[in-house]
Chains A and B, each alone.
Chain A
Amino acid sequence: MKVAASLAVMLIALLCSNAGILNSVEAAKQNETDSDLQARIDQAKAGDIITLASGEYEGPLTISKPLTLEAEPGAEVTIANKSEQPAVTVASHDVTLTGFRINDAAMKEQPSILINRSQSFRLANLEIETGSYGIRMADSNQGEIRNTLIEWAGERADAPVKLSEKGNGIDLYQSHDNVLEGNTIIAMHDGIYMENSDRNTVAANRFERLRYGVHCMYTVGTVIRDNAGEYNITGAMIMAVREVEVSSNRFAKQNENVNSQGILLFDAESSVIRDNVTEGNRVGLYVEQSARNTITGNRVIGNYIGLQLLKAEDNQITDNLFVGNVVQAEAKQSVRNELSANYWDAFQGIDTDGDGGSDIRYAISPFFQSVVKAKPAFQLFFQAPSFQFLEQLFQSDKEAWTKDAEPLMAPSGATAVQAAGEDHGLSMAVSIMLLCAAVAILIKTGVKK
């Protein structure tokens, strides 16, 4: 087995290097009329800086030595790629790419930038239009990707592209200790996907119209901080992780899809979910089969369901704010969670000792989840008055329900919701009109005689 595997590795390595050579030869031939960028790259010495003047350069390019490829200050540089290869392949340590556009709209297997077995690479201020993956990293560590825009460009008028036909914005496989910061990723598959990749930092990125904004699969020690996401299916999909930090992110309006949520934890353990804002999502915070996490200081506002716990155990859920959610919480088969000092706006507590916490506990009903988990077709009863009525009646096994031991009586900090969009002045005008009309009718019909 081992032998076979290492043979395979050698074979692939060989193929790769061959392809690289072939590409560069081809590129050299094709691009003689252009500035012949591949040739310049090939001739450059390790550590050189290649500065690009304004203009369009043709890909694919392969960089297999430490090198800096940068646009002249103020120059408009585009690398256009029409091949099936990555527009740029980085196959060396210490490669820097900054300041240019990549136009790589063809739908294909290979990513627009491939970073393969590289260390300490640096990508910054790029604009990538891709019909595949934006940047794919394999076995590449200690690199950084900053202030880069990645946008799907493979849209065809005749055939709308399914989400699953798109590639991820930034895709990490077995790549550790990288910093991904300040990037904007739009309309791709997943924004940043990390598999078997540890201790990466995902900070201050922006995710829009993606499947999942950040998607972790089997990662340890990842930090996801200060990101913002809107209109994705799910903002942060945190799956099979250990010791991850998800903090100060803002995920709003993940509500279009029937499976949407702001932040989802599945098989997440010993992680910290802190100071995030999830607003206007289908589910604000979804926690399933996750244990020993700390969930604190989050503001869960105006979601259809605020908090959803399924088979979540031993988590500490404290000091969160739940305001304006249609249903503030649902919990099923979740035990030994420590809930305390959260603020639930729809819960009426009593505080006789004046310590700011309610003396009665808030017990979270598992009823709706129990009904629809078995038969999803009954989801049509969501918040029907008749269903609420039934839910009130259902009190069986209440001892086992998840409970907030001492919910806060008043919210700490501001609760006002930021989002705007609809015209509020107009509704005031309409309400005045309504009143006037109603009073006029009343006077005309009622008072006469």
Chain B
Amino acid sequence: MMKTKSSLLYGTVLLLALLLSACGSKEYKPEPINEDVDKCVMCNMAVKDDPYATQIITVDGQSLKFDDIGCMNEWKTENGTDAIGAEFVRDHNHGDWVKYETAYYAYHKDFKTPMAYGIISFASKASAEAYVQEQGKGVVLSSGQLADHTWEVNRDMMDMEMMKMHEEQHHSAEGGGSEEESGAHGESDSHSSEAGSHS
């Protein structure tokens, strides 16, 4: 009895599996962020439902969430891109999910992001440019240009990085420059004053 029960179940499971793979050529959809449980696959920090969050949907349909696009880049360096079905970032102004490839990015090392990579994503080139203009600093990059980005973090941990045994793609030399920081800014880890401007 138990056996028929379980074999029946396996049948159903298999059927379901087949059905799902049948509608196979699937479209990858980003999952919404759930602040209660989502943590960055790379750095372990809680992923906030803010525009800094990024996400990979694997070919297998698993959602990997990151708190900063820099962490997503780390993941790709470490795991390769074979398993990736789609990559998503969020528009800084609206929080809409945008495909990584079609998005535009504003970078300045002083832009505050959760892991201090200083890269902010936008749905359109125009809004990225507007942001850079508004901030009075930074450059606009396409996803292609982002591939050549050095991915250095804001903090000059260089002297310590030198000691790192595992020399991966790591942070290249970087000027000190933290003195030019200005006063009352948001901390990276929250809706900073920049983030607060979306309405």
Contacts and interface: CB of A to CB of B under 8 A. Distances in A.
A116 B184 contact: yes
A211 B44 CA distance: 13
Contact of A218 (B35, B155, B196): B155
Contacts of A196: 154-155, 178
B166 to A, nearest CB: 8
A217 B116 contact: yes
A290 to B, nearest CB: 11
A383 interface: no
B44 A13 contact: no
Nearest to A166: B190
A189 B186 CA distance: 14
Query: Interface range on chain B: under 10, 10 to 19, 20 to 34, or 35 or more?
Result: 35 or more
A233 B62 CA distance: 24
B172 interface: no
A173 B185 contact: yes
A267 B186 CA distance: 24
Nearest to B186: A109
A173 B188 CA distance: 9
A163 B180 CA distance: 31
Given A269-B160, A313-B165, A168 B43 contact: no
B39 A1 contact: no
B46 A259 contact: yes
Given A5-B137, A211-B46, A242-B157, A138 B184 contact: yes
A374 to B, nearest CB: 9
A22 to B, nearest CB: 15
Nearest to B153: A218
B37 interface: yes
Interface in B150-180: 153-155, 157, 160, 163-166, 178, 180
Contact of A217 (B178, B180, B184, B189): B189
A171 interface: yes
A248 B142 CA distance: 48
Interface in A221-242: 233, 237, 239-240, 242
Contacts of A292: 163
B80 interface: no
Contact of A257 (B36, B44, B188): B36
Contacts of B191: 164
Given A5-B110, A5-B180, A218-B116, A163 B35 contact: yes
A240 B49 contact: no
Contact of A138 (B44, B163, B164, B185): B185
A88 B12 CA distance: 65
A195 interface: yes
Given A4-B137, A164-B49, A240-B157, A139 B181 contact: yes
Most buried by B among A217, A242, A267: A217
Contacts of A218: 116, 153-155, 157
A114 B184 contact: yes
A164 B165 contact: no
Nearest to A286: B44
Contact of A2 (B62, B164, B180): B180
Contacts of A2: 180
Nearest to A12: B182
Contact of A7 (B136, B163, B165): B136
B101 interface: no
B96 interface: no
Sort A-B residue pairs by CB-CB distance and give the 8 closest, nearest first: A218-B155, A164-B48, A5-B180, A12-B182, A242-B160, A259-B39, A9-B182, A116-B183
11 contacts: A136-B184, A138-B185, A168-B187, A196-B154, A196-B155, A217-B189, A218-B116, A218-B157, A259-B37, A264-B44, A313-B166
